[in-house]
Structure 1
Amino acid sequence: MTTTRVLTGDRPTGPLHLGHYFGSLQNRVRLQDGGAEVFVLVADYQVLTDRDTAERLDEHVLGLVLDYLAIGIDPGRTTVFAHSAVPALNQLLLPFLSLVSVPELNRNPTVKDEIAHSRQSSVSGLMFSYPAHQAADILFCKATLVPVGKDQLPHLEVTRLIARRFNERYGPTFPEPEAMLSRAPLLLGTDGTKMSKSRGNAIAIRATSDETARLIKGAKTDSVRTISYDPAGRPEVSSLVLLAALCLDADPVALAGEIGDGGAAALKKSVTEAVNERFAPIRARRAALAADPAFARAVLRDGCVRAREIADATLEEVRTAMGMRY
């Protein structure tokens, strides 16, 4: 039986938060523990897609690796690697770009959205080629499953298109990877908008219990005293209820009923206690790992070695298929 190979990852632009954990991180651990071969990409080159420079990059990269290890990523079963450390992966970008047209890249809705939310008045060619670069990320290791949110589906379709066109033009080489959509509901940030590293509205996985309490205390709610779970009608309150329910493995409707007429203060107290209890062991592991950063760096270094071996082999296969073995 063929082992499922999974590619997933994050841009190192800041600490991972609770939205990341419930949206994708815990699922990576489940896939790993279920026997899938998991590759986790630290997408350092992609930091530059919407930024002039990659500030504090080394700190953010190390922080990602510490977060991964703390939540249960096992370097003995999962390969954690950095974009920039795998030259052969990035060499795949050139033949892949030849397989997609400028209009196809131009009308990608995910890229349009990312450009609209960019910090820059104009974007670089790296942003424009982002979907093809992601195709290289996915296909270099011949991943068959890619966990994505709905907003990332257009990127995956470009990857499938590139794989299909390469196979048609040069012979069967790449699988067409399938999307694995997260069933996790969206967690809002403390300001009532999508939880995001860049918006300053997120609760970091590594946050202390006091920081967590302060952030939740300042979270946006509404003026209705009775707590209910109504994501459409009361999004901010419902997101807090959902966060507590996820931490407690409880039903959000039942949990809201237990808080009842306690109002926002009782809700925030319940959420704070639930988050701090759920993440206490993860935070303790992370603090212990952070005290010995050499281990996390060794994990990343070893992962990069393995990724380079796989990427080199794939690039050789591509060169052979394209008649570029000189």
Structure 2
Amino acid sequence: MEFALLGFSDIPNLQMFLFVMFLFIYVVTLMGNGIIILITRADQTLQTPMYFFLSNFSFLEICYVSITLPRMLINIWTQKTHISLFACATQMSFVLMFGNIESLLLTVMAYECYVAICNPLHYPLIMNSKVCAQLVAACWVTGVPVEIGQTCQIFSLPFSGSNQINHYFCDIPPMLNLACGDTFLNEMLVITGAVLFVMIPFLLILGSYSKITTTILKLPSATGRAKAFSTCSFPIMVVTLFFGSGIIIYLLPNSKNSSKTDKFLSLLYTILTLMFNPLIYTLRNKDVLMALRKLLT
């Protein structure tokens, strides 16, 4: 009826350091994404499709990080690792759900950048407010039912052995390691989901940015090339960290990854990229910096 999230209990001497570090990351993530949402709503010059997607992305990141970090902080502070079966299933469902939505939203943002650079004359027509709202709604609607079904299927498996999850949140690989019986079907469904929500969006994003790069290199003006690269280059680091770690965890066989490797890779796509995103979007974007100065003054 309950599990034990071992988290980082294998390094007892660093528990206070880990608590302070993760608390700092959580506060920075909330503040950074909250500021982006505020300035994109308050500044009229940022009422464009690009910043509409960015504000939705920041809201998603706040939801995403709040699923894992608060419980991990409580577990480190209290040294109590128990989590009920229902809470574990709920956490897994939301982590997978928000991960899928982020994957789809990054794809939409890459498409928006592609239209802006490669098809600027048709940009206002293609990226009108109605289409933008529909794209965001489609990301949320598509990501929800699939992962609820997958979570229900995983937690319908019998768990009669050890209840210790060697992870800091309820994720698919460690849960399948604890399940009894044949998990081949579940593993195939995990791979299928990873292909649909990780591999295909990643390839679409790479295709978009390859087209963007080709178009930018053809621009006659060096200033135009620099501005275009500045506008669309900041998601590349986010995409690499997020999709790279996701592909390794969910597409490689479990035997290829140790529990320590899984935990480190999970930190990349569930926590660290969420903290770096606001910094990347603000420090590399002059419009956002200008709007932030106007807000502060």
TM-score relative to the length of structure 1: 0.26
Of the two structures, which has the highest relative contact order with CA contacts closer than 8 Å and spacing of 6 or more? 2
Q: Which has the larger share of helix? A: 2
Q: Which has the larger share of strand? A: 1
